[in-house]
């Protein structure tokens, strides 16, 4: 019989996620998840951006520096970008960010990109829940977190 008071660190750890969401698709998808009352982890702090292609790598590094355990970028499906090529630009740019994170010693699994349309509230909830579970396994991110 397990002792209920003996909780492992992985069970106690609640990852903090900064989610940069395209205002045309993924932000609307998160809104749909909310109005549809779909239950998902409350670990993500959404930041609405004009386009996933507008995310600067500095935003991502800053989020990790300020204590995020994971960063999620979510935009329109390829071919559906309101700015024509923004999500293609994001995909190329964020591939390099993932390489940079590995180079500086941060697990690349702490950074994720997804495509969620405005009609995919359930998919948005699924993406966040999966990311939270993956980050729980990794534990807290202390590599880039500023000492304050």
* Tens-place pLDDT, residues 19-51: 999 999 999 999 999 999 999 999 999 999 999
Confidence of residue 10 (pLDDT cuts 50, 70, 90): low
Per-residue pLDDT averaged across 52-80, rounded? 95
Q: What pLDDT shows up at residue 58? A: 94
| Average pLDDT value over all residues in the chain | 91
Q: Look at 39-43, 83-87, 133-137 and tell me which has the smallest mean pLDDT.
A: 83-87
**Burial status of residue 58 (CB atoms within 10 A of its CB: 0-12, 13-18, 19 or more):** exposed
Confidence of residue 1 (pLDDT cuts 50, 70, 90): very low
pLDDT more than 90, % of the chain: 79
Q: State how far the Cα of 42 lies from the Cα of 17, in Å rounded to an integer.
A: 9
Contact 127, 113 (CB under 8 A): no
Q: What pLDDT shows up at residue 3? A: 47
Q: What pLDDT shows up at residue 87? A: 87
């Amino acid at each position: 019989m397990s002792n209920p008071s003996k909780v492992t660190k992985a069970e106690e750890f609640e990852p903090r996620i900064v989610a940069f969401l395209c205002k045309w698709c993924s932000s609307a998808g998160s809104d749909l998840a909310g109005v549809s009352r779909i239950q998902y982890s409350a670990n993500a702090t959404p930041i609405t951006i004009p386009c996933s292609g507008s995310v600067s790598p500095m935003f991502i590094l800053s989020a990790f520096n300020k204590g995020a355990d994971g960063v999620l970028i979510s935009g329109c499906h390829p071919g559906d970008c309101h700015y024509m090529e923004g999500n293609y630009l994001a995909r190329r740019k964020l591939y390099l960010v993932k390489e940079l994170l590995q180079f500086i010693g941060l697990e690349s699994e702490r950074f994720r990109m997804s495509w969620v349309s405005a009609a995919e509230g359930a998919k948005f909830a699924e993406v966040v829940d999966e990311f939270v579970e993956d980050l729980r396994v990794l534990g807290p991110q202390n590599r880039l977190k500023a000492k304050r």
